[in-house]
Amino acid sequence: MAYTPEDTAILNKIGTRLAHITVANGYNNEFKKIKRARLTPFKGYDLPAVNYYHGGVTSEKTKYGLLKKTMSLIVETHSKTQDAAFIDLADELAADIVIGLFRTSLKPKVTDTVSIALGGTVDGFTFTGHSPFIGEGERPFCGTIVRFDVVYETDIGDM
C-alpha cells in the first residue's frame, strides 16, 4: 500500500468539508466546482467555484522528537458579480468558507458545533485572513482568497 503524505490527507479532508457548503446546510453560496490546485481559470458556467491548495509547509523539531509542521492553506473562491457590491459578495464567500471548514462532515450545518481539529488530524486550524478581488471585462467576476494556518505533527522523516 502506498504512503499518503499528511499534507495530502489534510487537503482531502478540506475538500470533503468544502463539498458540504450548500444552501441546504444554511450557507449563502453553493459551489458548482470544487478543485484542488487548479491552474486554469474557471468559466462563467462553473461559478461559484472554489480552488484550494497549500502555499507551503514549514517544520520545526519539537522537544519530543517530532516535527511540528505549519501548512499555509489557501482557498480561492470565484463568483459572478451580482447587484450587490462585489466586496459584500467577497465577504459572504469568505464567511461560507470559514464557517464550512470549521464544521465536521457529519455535522456541516452553519448552526452545528465548531470543530477545529479536522477529525483529530491536526493540532491547530486558524483563519488568518482573506483578500477580496474583482475581475473586469465582458463577464465580470469577483471572489476572495481565504487563508488559514494548519498545525500538525509528524515523526521525523515522515511527510
Q: Is the pLDDT of residue 138 over 80?
A: no
For residue range 2-29, list pLDDT tens digits in order: 888 899 999 999 999 999 999 999 999 9
The whole-number pLDDT of residue 141 equals: 83
Residue 104 phi/psi, 5-degree rounding, is -75, 165
The whole-number pLDDT of residue 121 equals: 86
Q: Which one-letter DSSP state was computed for residue 111?
A: T
Q: Quick count: other Cβ atoms within 10 Å of Cβ 5?
A: 12
Instruction: Check: pTM over 0.85? Answer yes or no.
Output: yes
Task: Look at residue 97 and give its three-state secondary structure.
Answer: helix
Cell of 56: 507551503
For residue range 85-137, list pLDDT tens digits in order: 889 999 999 999 999 999 998 999 999 999 888 888 899 999 999 999 988 76
The whole-number pLDDT of residue 135 equals: 80
Task: List Cα–Cα distances, 88 to 47, 83, 124, 126, in angstroms.
Answer: 17, 10, 29, 23
Q: Is the pLDDT of residue 66 over 80?
A: yes
**Can you tell me the mean pLDDT for 129-149?**
87
Cβ atoms 31, 18 nearer than 8 A? yes
Domain 6-155 has CATH 3.40.50.150: no
Residue 26 phi/psi, 5-degree rounding, is 100, 5
Domain boundaries, the chain: 6-155
**Can you tell me the mean pLDDT for 75-85?**
87
Cell of 4: 499518503
Sheet containing 33-36: order of strands? 33-36, 49-61, 66-80, 141-155, 124-135
